[in-house]
Amino acid sequence: MAFSARPPSSDRRPDFDSRRVRLIAAAIRAGQASADVAFDAAFPVELRDVSAHYWTPVRVVRLAATWLRETRARTVIDIGSGAGKFCVAAALLTRCRFTGLEHRASLVSAARDLAVTFGVADRVTFVYGGIEAAGTMDAEAYYLFNPFGEYTFSSARFADPDVTFSTGSQQRDIAATAALLSRARPGTFVITYNGFGGSVPQSYEQIDVATRLPGTLRLWKKREDGVS
């Protein structure tokens, strides 16, 4: 799959000034119920409408960010980064560097705009490509929110007709992800939200789990003696 060299747009939205961004970050940190609505207002309406189903809720980002701070991970790859909600919201709560990998060009573009809007584009990068591109990247932690389901957009702007879904490609992507995690260095962290369709390799141990969220969030660590 080709990579886009398109740079992020440099214009911040005038209605998202630094005060508004600070207030949204504070609302996420405080776990305010209104934080999702406040954050999602930065999306184009078509991406806002699917947010509750397709993008990580801020309550979940909040706990994942706590785990990232506790683990002291400095670099995070979000496989299937969508419109960038996880990477950008987590960047507001941590000092990590995030790379989002996404195979829909329209979402990569929207995610880059989101990072600029929230003033975190210096630490948050979005790459256009499929799971195979993750093999050339390196990170201390991976985030996976059920990336290989079938995601559809009714709007022409986000239709990405070159992206198709089949159970064959889904199974290949799941196997490639398991292989990627098997090759990762000992000590690598993985955070799954509603899994990724496959099993985290046995060389990882689950070190935390949260079930009182809209979905199940798990933290895994590759054992120091973990070979695969």
Ligand X SMILES: C[S@@+](CC[C@H](N)C(=O)[O-])C[C@H]1O[C@@H](n2cnc3c(N)ncnc32)[C@H](O)[C@@H]1O
Stretch that binds ligand X, among 20-28, 29-37, 74-82, 213-221 (CB under 6 A): 74-82
Binding residue for ligand X, selected from 78, 119, 121, 192, defined by CB under 6 A: 78
Give residues 166-195 in contact with ligand X (rule: CB under 6 A): 173
What residues contact residue 184 under an 8 Å CB cut-off, 6+ apart? Answer: 142, 222
- For residues 21 and 119, the answer to whether their CB atoms sit within 8 Å is yes
Residue of 42, 131, 184, 217 that binds ligand X (CB under 6 A): 131
99 near ligand X, rule: CB under 6 A: no
Residue 8: which region, alpha, beta or left (left: phi > 0; alpha: psi -120 to 50)? beta
Q: How far is the CB of 69 from ligand X (least distance, A)?
A: 18
Cα–chain center distance at 94 = 14
Q: Binding to ligand X by residue 54, rule CB under 6 A?
A: yes
Q: Does 40 bind ligand X (CB under 6 A)?
A: no
Tokens standing for residue 186: 């000992």
Task: Verify binding: residue 112, ligand X, rule CB under 6 A.
Answer: no
| Stretch near ligand X under the rule CB under 6 A, chosen from 23-31, 32-40, 73-81, 220-228 | 73-81
55 binds ligand X (CB under 6 A): yes
* Closer CB to ligand X, 71 or 81, in the complex: 81
What secondary structure letter does DSSP report for 215? S
Does the protein bind ligand X through residue 98 (CB under 6 A)? no
Q: In what order do the strands lie in the sheet with 204-210?
A: 124-128, 97-102, 75-79, 141-145, 189-193, 217-222, 204-210
Q: Report how far residue 21's alpha carbon sits from residue 219's, in angstroms, rounded to the nearest whole number.
A: 28
**146 near ligand X (CB under 6 A):** yes
Residues that bind ligand X (CB under 6 A): 54-56, 78, 80-82, 85-86, 101-104, 107, 130-131, 145-148, 151, 173
